[in-house]
Amino acid sequence: MTQTMRRGAPEKVHPVPRPRRRGRLLPGLGRFALFALPGLVAYAFFVLVPIGMTAYNSLTNLNPFNPPTRFVGLRNYVTLLSDAEFHQALLNTVIITAIITVLANVGGLLIAMLLDRPTRLYILLRGVFFTPVVLSSVVISVIWQAILTDDGLLNSALRGLGVDEPPGWLSDPDLAIYSIAWIMAWQMLGFCVVVYLAGLQGVPRELSEAAAIDGASALQRFRNVTWPMLAPALTINVVMLLITGFKAYDQIRVITNGGPGNGTTVTMAFQVVQTAFVSNRIGYSSALAAVMLAIVAFISVVVLRFLQKREVSR
Amino acid sequence: MRRTLIFGLAAVLAAAGCGVGETPGAEGGASASAGGKVELSFLVFETPNLNAAFWDAAIARASAKVPEVTIKKLVTPNIDRTAYAKQLDAAGNLPDILQSVNPAGFAQAGKLAPFTDEELKNFIAPKAGAIGGKVYQLPYNTQVIPVVYYNKDMFAKAGITQTPTTYQELLDISKKLKDGGVTPFIVGGGGADTWADMYPLTGTVATDVYRKTPDWLLQRAQGNVKFTDPDFVAAAKKIEDLAKNEYIDPAGLSRSYADTEQAFRDGKGAMYPMGSWFATSADANKPSFEVGAFPWPTDDGSPVTPTFTGGGTLVSATAKNVELAKKWALAFDEDKENNDAFVKADGSIPAIKGYTPPADMGPVYNATVAIYQKGMQEGSIYDAFSQEAGDGALPPGLADKAALGVQDLITGKKNAQQFAEFLDDEYAKATQ
């Protein structure tokens, strides 16, 4: 066989015995399994098992401080259908998610277009805009709390400008949720900037130049050349922001603790933790977590499919 | 290849086996160490007053008295040590000894070891915070909640020469201050410190509800009374009216606990209803004005002193060595130097027989202790609403809900009746 191949006769190469190919493939799979095993074990242990346990707990009245634990079927799910606090938390989560998705995307795109220049200053500015992304959410929250409290920097500045009664950014129940959303959008802005910058750098300059020669205005060039080419970046940003919005917890815990008042800034993730670790109702909080998981998964899949279809059609 | 796979699998299992073997010692927080000593984990919390150096020194003093124990200090990520203890417990890692964690729920679930009468013989109120007749948390100190601390300069400028003894006088003073452009009450509750808004309501519940029915929360647990009953609604109405009259500034609800204290120090309001722990802070870091103190007044001027006694150390029922853990906990809470340190750092009023505070305590602390001692002499000591422990405590999570509800009262989102209905609803949820 070896001699045949050396002679270079192509017709004699075809009858390679299939079992030998299988033999080569299996060791490959074995190695793959070997290297994948630790990751799979970790994934199963830290993701799949907790999800399974949560699903199971959601069907019980588990309260470690009020035994015994009993199987209650779907009672927890029926209860949350009429739970006004859950409805409020869901609404707050949707408001926060919608605001950060729009603000961070629009702001991120505008800043990315401004920074899409290869000079040192602009490269430095990219780092500046990205800094909030790498900072801890707790640190961000403490900084913004200092800015937005009644005696904070913003209101002090407003008072200095002659505003007698500046808004209670964090103490006004009608305003606090928007302050939280603003803070989260600000933190995620840098992420969107970087993703859009990567997208912009993948847009061939010839296309834009050709459109300009054909008489397209700057707006038309953006609409018909740049924006369609940014579709993958939009997909990444939207999905990431949706997930960030739906799991909002840290900022709420540090800045408002769900207040001012009952439920004004409570999100689903916050309600899950409070119900489990403050009220000790782990069975019910598991049902809340299961519903939250289902909502996030459903919205993520739908949005992802829609945006990916848009990428293809463009 | 098969050999490679088997070897790899064995390596993974061996690594996993090692990990599991190490877990109980490392995470259980209690293991026998060299020299026959028992290592016990001790959960503490840090505040500006009770900082790391404070705890280290206090632990060293107790450990010197119980040399067979070594302590592994654990620190909560924030001041809410009860919530953190619950998280640790949920993960199967309840520390062996815990400081100032609310025993509600833990005790009923058999997670805490009770102290015997003999062990409690040195405490002034040995049955304080009892659950089912058993005491799980050492009743080592008393706090008066609230005391109304006030800015003497602002009072003098407004022409107020005497502190109020009736509720109407408090309202008159508030009006005078407001008319003079001063916010009468500083109330906080921002950030994670929602609890900091509770103290005016704690005052009105003591004067309007607990004075008539001292075991009101026990009766609530038995279904004999409800939050929507007229007495409780009247207590809440007083807070609603204070806010409506702009005697409490809702903007303060964005202030954290530390910011709230700072606002009082900065002269942003004349009165600061707060727990007695503020006293040593005012003495140690004196504001630019003289601070006075008076108890929350009743309608008829008769005395009511809302207090909480307890707050000490607890021992896990599953501690590595429960008897040694209790011995160490008692040594920690009864140690004179430790109590002196608690007094100086946190304004505590130790409830240990024969204890006397250091002679060099400041005027605000002494004024606070005088309020407490007068209450003791007059028999006017009552529970402090939302601070209770033991059988007469709110169900887990309800104090947090009450604090959020008070924010609604102050911002006008709920009136007193709606607030009371909200508490009844939340009570039902918390106990279902």
User: Are A207 and A89 members of one domain?
Assistant: yes
User: Are A151 and A271 members of one domain?
Assistant: yes
Give residue A39's domain range: 17-57
Contact B400 A274 (CB under 8 A): yes
Evaluate the omega torsion of the peptide bond into residue A132 and state whether it is cis, within 30 degrees of 0.
no
Q: How many domains does chain A fold into?
A: 2
Can you tell me the distance from the alpha carbon of B338 to that of B57, in angstroms, rounded to the nearest whole number?
8
Q: Which of B8, B190, B404 sits opposite A34 (nearest CB)?
A: B8
Residue A248 lies in a domain: yes
User: Are A145 and A203 members of one domain?
Assistant: yes
What CATH number did the domain enclosing A126 receive? 1.10.3720.10
> Cβ distance B381 to B151 under 8 Å?
no
Domain ranges of chain B: 29-142+310-363, 144-308+373-431
Contact A150 B401 (CB under 8 A): no
pLDDT in tens, chain B (432 residues): 444 444 443 433 333 333 323 333 333 334 444 457 899 999 999 887 788 999 999 999 999 999 999 999 999 988 789 889 988 998 889 999 999 998 888 998 899 999 999 999 999 999 999 998 999 999 999 999 999 999 999 999 999 999 999 999 999 999 999 999 999 999 998 888 888 999 999 999 999 999 999 999 999 999 999 999 999 999 999 999 999 999 998 888 889 888 999 999 999 999 999 999 999 999 999 999 999 999 999 999 999 999 999 989 999 999 999 999 999 999 999 999 999 988 988 888 999 999 999 999 999 999 999 999 999 999 999 999 999 888 888 988 899 899 999 999 999 999 999 999 999 999 998 887
The answer, for B396 touching chain A at a CB cutoff of 8 Å, is yes
Q: Per-residue pLDDT tens for A93-106?
A: 999 999 999 999 99
Least confident of A25-29, A273-277, B280-284: A25-29
pLDDT value of residue B17: 34
* Pure H helices in B97-215: 152-157, 167-179, 199-205
Give Cα A296 distance to the centre of its chain: 10
Please provide the distance, in angstroms rounded to a whole number, between the alpha carbons at the two ends of chain A. 51
Residue A74 lies in a domain: no
Instruction: Indicate the pTM of the whole model.
Output: 0.80
Q: Check if CATH label 3.50.50.60 holds for domain B29-142+310-363.
A: no
Contacts of B258 (CB under 8 A, 6+ apart): B48, B193
Q: Which value does ipTM take for this structure?
A: 0.73
Which residues 154-193 on chain B approach chain A with CB closer than 8 angstroms?
A: 189-193
User: Are A51 and A149 members of one domain?
Assistant: no
User: Are A105 and A232 members of one domain?
Assistant: yes
Q: Per-residue pLDDT tens for A11-20?
A: 445 555 555 5
Provide the number of CB pairs (under 8 Å) joining chain A to chain B.
136
Beta strands in chain A (DSSP E): none
- Residue B414 CA: distances (Å) to CA of A261, B243, B245: 9, 11, 15
User: Are A128 and A277 members of one domain?
Assistant: yes
Measured in angstroms, the CA of B2 and the nearest CA of chain A are apart by 8
Q: Is the pLDDT of residue A63 over 60?
A: yes
Domain boundary among A40, A57, A74: A57
- Residue B102 CA: distances (Å) to CA of A178, A206, B84, B136: 34, 69, 11, 10
Contacts of B325 (CB under 8 A, 6+ apart): B40, B69, B96, B97, B113, B315, B316, B319
Which residues 175-234 on chain A approach chain B with CB closer than 8 angstroms?
A: none
User: Are A42 and A146 members of one domain?
Assistant: no
* Domain B144-308+373-431 CATH superfamily: Periplasmic binding protein-like II (3.40.190.10)
Residue A191 lies in a domain: yes
Q: Kindly identify which residue of chain B lies nearest to residue A253, measuring between CA atoms.
A: B192
Q: For residue B314, what is the enclosing H or E element?
A: strand B313-315
Q: Kindly identify which residue of chain A lies nearest to residue B395, measuring between CA atoms.
A: A279
Q: Is the pLDDT of residue A23 over 90?
A: no
Query: Chain A contacts of B19, Cβ < 8 Å?
Result: none
Contact B191 A262 (CB under 8 A): no
Q: Per-residue pLDDT tens for B53-94?
A: 999 999 999 999 999 999 999 999 887 898 899 889 988 899
Give Cα B62 distance to the centre of its chain: 23
Contact A258 B194 (CB under 8 A): yes
Quick check: do B29-142+310-363 and B144-308+373-431 share a fold?
yes
User: Are A42 and A94 members of one domain?
Assistant: no
